[in-house]
Amino acid sequence: AQTVTQSQPEMSVQEAETVTLSCTYDTSENNYYLFWYKQPPSRQMILVIRQEAYKQQNATENRFSVNFQKAAKSFSLKISDSQLGDTAMYFCALLVYNTDKLIFGTGTRLQVFP
Amino acid sequence: DSGVTQTPKHLITATGQRVTLRCSPRSGDLSVYWYQQSLDQGLQFLIQYYNGEERAKGNILERFSAQQFPDLHSELNLSSLELGDSALYFCASSHTGRGGLNEQYFGPGTRLTVT
């Protein structure tokens, strides 16, 4: 069985600062993908960034980057230059190759303060 | 805007009733997924359809059913509703059914309140 754990229920950061959200996962499969989704107060689920497990290079999307440690089964999200619009719930998710079923963590609520 | 549409946005109904949630996938997407987001269970995968056929099942109750029509839109039917069924129901779509990176794009969700 696959599991995703987000151990930080809530985080806060000041505008323009950097914050890191943690995620660990468990799977016995070798081929899988990892995602971070953002859910703002509007409740829309927005894909922030993705990482293919076979790629060693960490994914980056503008101010968002990940630290993927495959051996440790860790997948953290770093948000640089935090903006007020980054305030949202952030979900880490695992997708095992050939299953298409996203397994979500419980989420981290991020508050960005001015 | 993800290109996935869901109707209605909000639904309020009583226990014991039946409701239907509708989803239209992004243009060109063949797969539709349904997820439930509740306070106590978090985000859970319910069921997936690919090109009209059921492809995968998750923690979907027997009172719930779904289908995907020839035009690829999907409906999730919830019957004998209970208070605990109150949740946000998301539909997501992707281009293919399985294999490779298959990003799922989420609709805005339907907020179901059972009173």
Q: For B53-95, write each residue's pLDDT tens digit.
A: 999 899 899 999 999 999 999 999 999 999 999 999 999 999 8
Residues of A with CB under 8 A from a CB of B: 33, 37, 42-47, 50, 52, 91, 95, 97-107
Min Cα separation A97/chain B (Å)? 6
pLDDT digits (tens, 9 = 90+) for B76-85: 999 999 999 9
User: Beta partners for A64?
Assistant: A61, A79
Considering only CB atoms, B31 lies closest to which of A47, A100, A102, namely A100
Whether the CB-CB separation of A76 and A110 falls below 8 Å is answered with: no
pLDDT at B97 over 70: no
Span between the terminal Cα atoms of chain A, in Å = 41
Compute mean pLDDT per 10 residues along chain A, 114 residues long, and list them. Answer: 94 98 95 94 92 92 96 97 97 88 94 96
Residues of B with CB under 8 A from a CB of A: 2, 31, 33, 35, 42-45, 48, 55-56, 58, 88, 90, 92, 94, 97-106, 108-109, 111
The bridge status of strand A108-113 relative to strand A10-14 is: parallel
Would you call B108 and A43 a contact, using CB atoms and an 8 Å cutoff?
Answer: yes
Give residue B99's pLDDT: 55
Considering only CB atoms, B103 lies closest to which of A42, A43, A50, namely A50
Whether the CB-CB separation of A100 and B55 falls below 8 Å is answered with: yes
Min Cα separation B99/chain A (Å)? 5
pLDDT digits (tens, 9 = 90+) for B4-32: 999 999 999 999 999 999 999 999 899 99
